[in-house]
Structure 1
Amino acid sequence: MSYEPSRPARGLLVTPEDRQAPARARRLRLLGLGERPEPALDAFAHRLAELTGAPYAMVNFIDEERQFFAGLSTPATRPAGLTAPTGHGGPDRPELGRSLPRDHGFCPHVVVRSKALVLEDVRDYPRFAGNPVVDEYGIHAYLGAPLIDSTGTALGTVSVADLVPRHWGRPGLDTVKSTAVDLAARLERREADGLLP
């Protein structure tokens, strides 16, 4: 009798119901967030990628229909003067763009729970292993924290991802949580100072 390792069943992932989506979408519109890339948020994502050593870092705003990476750092989008690492998904994988459907990735779970999520190897969790980003983009590790503003609204996430399993450890978790708190405060200051687009 031969032994075949079990594989996670596809289709187990259910994007969580997001009852706050309409209120979040209104808040994002009011703040002018989630409609276009922002160089300052790209720079923020790049710093987060450097701090964690992750090839991907995102500032992600989530509305009722989609996720939008207003801040994005990928191996292909490193700022000028920095060498882009190779192997960002391989020749048979698409590059990560600025938007994803709500059922892709792990950020919608972070927003609904309003808690950080640590996945050192997403394939170890049947609930997450069948997510489209695993097969389509090769994402195997994820670390994200919610961007919660002073109204208590989880606007989106600050997150990092890798193509290989990663032990993020306590330092990684602390970093992503503290950067989320820092960015939420910066966005609030921008609103208070009237610097919204």
Structure 2
Amino acid sequence: MGEGRREPGRRDTLPLAFFTAIPVNNVMSHTEPDTSNSRDDSSVSSAAHHHHAELWSQLAAREAALVNAVAAGHDHEEQRRALVEFLRGDVFAHLQTEEMVLYNAARGVGAHALVAALELDHKSLLSLVEHIDQAATGLDAALSARALVMLFVLRMEKEETVLIPALAEAGVDVSTLIAGRPEMLGEIDVD
């Protein structure tokens, strides 16, 4: 058959092994960020790490549910909807506050290139959410979801290991910037 045409009766699925070739379930199990050269921002860095781990855990569970449904050839609409709602809720709130608070502070200390790189990550994440939501097939949604979770964890690593330490090194009191912002720290009190 020519490209672009499906064989009759062919399901739009891939084996689960295709999706699990890149493990994402233990990515956030790495050690806490090194805060030895920052002032009193270690509690903030730790709180940010824990909140990221919680977001990651919830995101990975929703992504796995979608991938598993698609890989099994089951209806996946409920899993896709749950993932998109979580992304547009908790994750978007985190990203928006991060841009408003941390990125503006980073611009203020001259870290324009770092902010530009992080903003590209955010734009890509937003685009992937739209791909998941509007995907024509379950396979397309699952592939976009896998790409999103991988990009999300890389972005979290940049925030924890580059952005927050750079702000602290420049003399920014990160604790004060993000105190009282549960969308960035969860319910963890950093005082």
Indicate the TM-score class for this superposition, using the shorter chain for normalisation: under 0.3
TM-score by length of 2: 0.28
Structure whose residues are more often strand by fraction: 1
TM-score by length of 1: 0.27
Q: Which has the larger radius of gyration?
A: 2
